[in-house]
Amino acid sequence: MKDRFASFHPLVNFVYFASILVFSMVFMHPVLQAASLISAVVYSIMLNGKKAVKFNLLYMLPLLLVAAVLNPVFNHAGVTILFYLKNGNPITLESILYGISAACMYVTVIVWFSCYNAVMTSDKFIYLFGKIMPALSLIFSMVLRFVPRYLAQIKVISNAQKCIGRDVTQGNLLARARNGMTILSIMTTWALENAIETADSMKSRGYGLPGRTSFSLFRFDARDQSVMLVLIGLIALVLFGALMGENTIRFFPSVKWLAVTPRSIAVYIAYFGLCMVPVIINVVEDMKWKRIESRI
């Protein structure tokens, strides 16, 4: 399906992902972690479909388990000792819980990044940073233009080399690596020589004049405004919770977090709401569309 959240202004996308990623890296409170992980998995499946399911089950689940097991082996803090290893080091409940929590966080961040990669395409990023870093963002744009071109040229060169009897796919590993480097070297000459004309074309179109602006197709409309306000409100609530200590958990020497109160429940809901913003948008738009369709 087509993601509705991606159609919002890049700033909305970026604020959402930046806050979610930072929060997911910082808050280890189990309720918040669970909220973030669940939202990340749901959204990634919405974005990437079957591929995401496979990715989550095949790579993320084992990773989570391994990380959860590894931590207690190295970390022996904590007061609840479960048993001793052969070398005499204790395995504690706290370190196991901590390991699970840390692993869970890692996996959450990775899954969020898989969503980020699908939504924050390069042109959005370049747009956002074009305002504050015009030269660098132009470099990014140029690199993104050159790379596919260079890869195509590598193919052309390796075919041409093959046709004068230099076959990259034949010979042992060393010979192949050497041939590969020759091709890279030929490609470099080609790239540098041709780039001069690109520089001419930039200059010819006035690059380097003072007062360069940065154009984009994106418009910050009413829809973006309302979602942005919701995001900011939720972020403020979560930060308020963080200030009150609602979002933190202490593992060592013993596991401890604040007692659950109405205030903490409000923070949990706000956080879960924040994480689910794109999913909610997708579901609501989907329902709207179905209703429109049923009337036709």
Footprint of another protein on residues 83-142 (CB under 8 A)?
98, 102, 105-106, 109-110, 113-114, 116-117, 120, 122-123, 133-136, 138-142
Q: Per CB under 8 A, which region of 33-41, 45-53, 214-222, 277-285 contacts another protein?
A: 214-222
**Which of 54, 59, 200, 263: binder of another protein (CB under 8 A)?**
200
- 165 sits in the region (left: phi over 0; alpha: psi -120 to 50; else beta) called left
Q: Which of 271, 204, 262 has the alpha carbon at shortest distance from 31?
A: 271
SS3 53: helix
Task: Give the count of residues interacting with another protein (CB under 8 A).
Answer: 97
From 53, 175, 199, 229, residue interacting with another protein (rule: CB under 8 A): 199
Q: In whole angstroms, what is the distance from residue 51 CA to residue 243 CA?
A: 38
Question: In this complex, which beta carbon is closest to another protein, that of residue 186 or of residue 280?
Answer: 186
Closer to another protein by Cβ: residue 193 or 293: 193
Minimum CB separation from another protein for residue 73, in Å? 9
Determine which residue in the list 53, 57, 85, 144 makes contact with another protein, applying CB under 8 A: 144
What are the distances in angstroms from CA 203 to CA 137, 196, 197, 212?
17, 11, 10, 13
Cis ω before 253 (30° cut-off from 0): yes
Q: Is 172 in the site for another protein (CB under 8 A)?
A: no
Q: Are 67 and 97 in contact (CB under 8 A)?
A: no
Between CA 158 and CA 153 the distance in angstroms is 8
Shortest Cβ 277–another protein spacing (Å): 20
62 binds another protein (CB under 8 A): no
Give the residue carrying structure tokens 């036709």. 296
Using CA atoms, how far apart are residues 251 and 256, in angstroms rounded to an integer? 6
Does 182 help bind another protein (rule: CB under 8 A)? yes
Give the one residue of 50, 83, 172, 213 binding another protein; rule: CB under 8 A: 213
If one asks whether residue 254 binds another protein (CB under 8 A), the answer comes out as no
92 neighbors 72 (Cβ within 8 angstroms): yes
Site string for another protein, 233-252 (x = CB under 8 A): ---------------xxxx-
Would you count residue 184 as binding another protein (CB under 8 A)?
A: yes
Question: What is the token pair recorded at 147?
Answer: 């790379």
Token pair 């479909």 in the structure block, residue: 49
Which of 2, 87, 88, 217 is close enough to bind another protein by CB under 8 A? 217
